[in-house]
Structure 1
Amino acid sequence: MNTKPAAARRIHGGTDAQGKPLFDFSTNSNALGPCAAAMRQIQKADCAGYPDPEYQALRESLAVWHDVAPHRILFAASASEFIYRMSIVFALRSTQNYKKNDKQIRTKTVWIPPHSYGDYALAARAAGLDLSDDISTAGLIWACEPGSPLGQNQEGLAQILSALPATSQLVLDCAYQPLRLSGQASANAEQLERCWQMFTPNKALGLTGIRGAYVIAPVHGEEWQLGLEQLAPSWVLGSHAVAMLASWNSVPVQEWLSNSLVILREWKHRQIAICQDLGWQVLPSHANFFCAMPSASIQENRRDFLHDLRSQGIKLRHAESFGLPACFRLGVLHPQAQDVLQRAVKEFSPRFFLSY
């Protein structure tokens, strides 16, 4: 008899067993991607040889762009890979400090936002860490701004960073910072120096099939950084990821991104109006995605509704795994996709459309 425990289920948007959706509202990727300027650099990548294992040129380029010392730049295979690696390093350091009876160390306790990316919690459990609802007791704190699925600022982030104890580590997931369509970041440059900042440009470039991330270590984070580097595999980035990250701070790519945000704002207003026309309650968001609560009838018949839409090439992301079972999270797509969604919802069942 196989007694091996089943792995926790990972729930993501995007391509599934039925293939890539024709109209994919289930991911947060930039709908105007892929960025042509970045793609040209990726297509030129030298895949016949190893990249520099130290990524020195890329490290120095990103350091100049962010105005930080090059040694503060770390690389990761993806945001998820870094989330797991950071959780493991924290678990190892917590165990070591516990054995030393250092009462100043907050051992094995992690705080994650109430509605957030599932890998934060999965990584904590895999590393044998405890989740806490009390941020003041946590040794490892995860934050994301704008956060998924709600697209809102992290509540109290500036105050948390200002009061962050030396014994705690805060990782700020900046995946959607380049896709911010409204509002302002809540922490200033001085406060950000106290946390780990994790960047994944593939979403902003519409290139989620290319995996690769980089992290800015906090000031005086050398000891933790050493542990993170020691746990990283050799050549954590492949040639395509190096090319994508190397293009990230180039003028053509940043101009493309800036122009895409203008269009995404227009598309977002239109998509919100369509959802409201369908009787869906739209929650506020600063990003290129938002949560919407459909009619009670659609909620009650959610599985049939999602199955019917998926059969038409439309995929929505149900937000139950984020702790929002009454909502869908919708990435902003082009007007044609929005019109297809509107027709499909209305045609699914007249009683569903009229029941709100």
Structure 2
Amino acid sequence: MTGPKPLSNILEITPYKGGQKLDHGWKLSSNENPLGCSPAARAALAQTAEHLEMYPDGGAVKLRDAIGKKYGIDPDRIVCGAGSDEIFQLLGRAYLSPGDEIIQSQHGFLVYRLVAQQSGAKCVSAPENELRADVDAMLERVTDKTKIVFLANPNNPTGSYIPYDEVKRLHNGLRDDILLVLDGAYAEYVQKNDYAAGMELAGEAPNVLVTRTFSKIHGLAGLRIGWAYGPESVIDAIHRVRGPFNTTSVAQAAAIGALSDDMFVTGSVEHNNSELDRMKPALEDMGFKVYPSVGNFLLIEFEDRDGKRAPDADQFLRQRGIVIRDMNAYGLPNCLRLSIGTTKANDEVLEAFDAFSKAG
């Protein structure tokens, strides 16, 4: 006997796999905040957890109001989700049909492709320029089937970004019926004068949506909470396809608490940037190729010779209790992505990389 068969396009999907961890040692594979989360977020969560018998606010009204006040945007044009991942899934449900196309940069976030596959749509990847999104290459791949263009800015896993002028040039080259999604999961880490997450564009254009998450800088990855801001019509469409209680009460409360703690965010950025400035040159001095990053991680490329490739390094590090992210799924088989950890964790990482560089 055979049971029910899923749709054929579903069977073609390779499920997303998060960063692995070990029973002991350092997990530096998921770009998590090494400082944890804000005490204000933790306190708000604990208070709300006393009433788990109650359904959450289905509209996340207080959270949307807090986000609106924080960023100076209209709360009615904000929608919340179980991480920005769910926002992407909802966009697929609202805007993609079999035969449609989405466009992403060559090494864009894996979930974009999954969203397309789940809808029976095609994911078109535009070549990058030295692991940096190429606006011209993305525009060249627009067809009458294109429905969504995803741009992670900064991009995971490359750590690169494109200036706001380039983002606007990308938008100007798109038809009005193509939705441009600006994924700003790592926006808070960027300290560049020519960068902007795109709030202004999303506030003015009828086809731009900005997505953000509380998973990274705010350290609430375990609660799955994110949000999006954009045109009323797009927000309305997302509301129509989302679940009635798609974000939990504890996640909403913790997110509101996190937004109130500027000191925690500032401390997280300062720690990340100082450790990036320390880690990148140290690894380069050992002979590794390390790509520039404005996120909370580094992409490291290895030599293409026996005993020195990325899988060799991955195994060596795991034996020392350090797990980082392999990049096979992103088409970068000889690279590993290293999340910035605590100072102690980073010290041990540098010791391990130094030992690997000298081994054999």
TM-score, normalised to structure 1, is 0.84
Find out whether 1:116 has 2:125 as its counterpart: no
Between the aligned residues of both structures, percent identity stands at 22
Contact preservation (8 Å) 2:149, 2:178:
yes
**Paired residue for 1:206, among 203, 219, 243?**
219
Specify the alignment match of 2:246 in structure 1. Answer: 236
- Cα contact 2:105–2:151 (8 A) shared by 1: yes
- Per-residue CA deviations over 1:22-51 (Å, capped at 9, x if unaligned) read 212212122222222221212222323112
Q: Deviations over 1:36-82 (max 9, x none)?
A: 22212122223231122222222222223222222211111122222
Pick the aligned partner of 2:18 from 9, 12, 27. Answer: 12
Which of 99, 120, 126 does residue 118 from structure 2 map onto? 126
Residue 331 (structure 2) aligned to one of 319, 323, 343: 323
Which residue number in structure 2 is paired with residue 246 of structure 1? 256
In the alignment, structure 1 segments of 5+ residues that lack a partner are 96-106
Which runs of structure 2 are paired with 1:1-356 in the superposition (5 Å)?
Answer: 5=11, 7-15=13-21, 18-19=22-23, 22-45=25-48, 46-92=51-97, 108-132=100-124, 133=126, 134-137=140-143, 138-154=146-162, 156-182=166-192, 184-186=194-196, 189-193=199-203, 194=205, 195-218=208-231, 221-222=232-233, 224-250=234-260, 253-297=261-305, 301-348=309-356, 350-352=358-360
CA RMSD of aligned residues (A): 2.5
Deviations 1:175-222 (A, max 9, x none): 10012244542566542333111111121122311111111122xx42
Q: Distance in 2 between matches of 1:188 and 1:8?
A: 31
Check whether the contact 1:278–1:342 (CA below 8 A) recurs between aligned residues: no
Q: Structure 2: how far apart are the matches of 1:349 and 1:277?
A: 10
| TM-score for the superposition, normalised by structure 2 | 0.83
SS in 2 for 1:150: coil
Letter in 2 for 1:80: D
Gaps of 5+ in 2: 127-139
SS at match of 2:96: helix
Q: Which amino acid aligns with 1:244?
A: A
Q: State the distance in 1 between where 2:76 and 2:15 align.
A: 36
* 1:75 counterpart SS class: strand
Q: Distance in 1 between matches of 2:228 and 2:14?
A: 26
CA distance in 2, matches of 1:203, 1:186: 18
Q: Identify if the C-alpha distance between structure 1 residues 285 and 298 changes in structure 2 by more than 3 Å, giving closer, same or farther.
A: farther
- How many Å apart are 1:298 and its aligned residue? 6.7
How many residues are paired up? 331
Query: How far has the Cα of 1:159 moved from its partner?
Result: 0.5
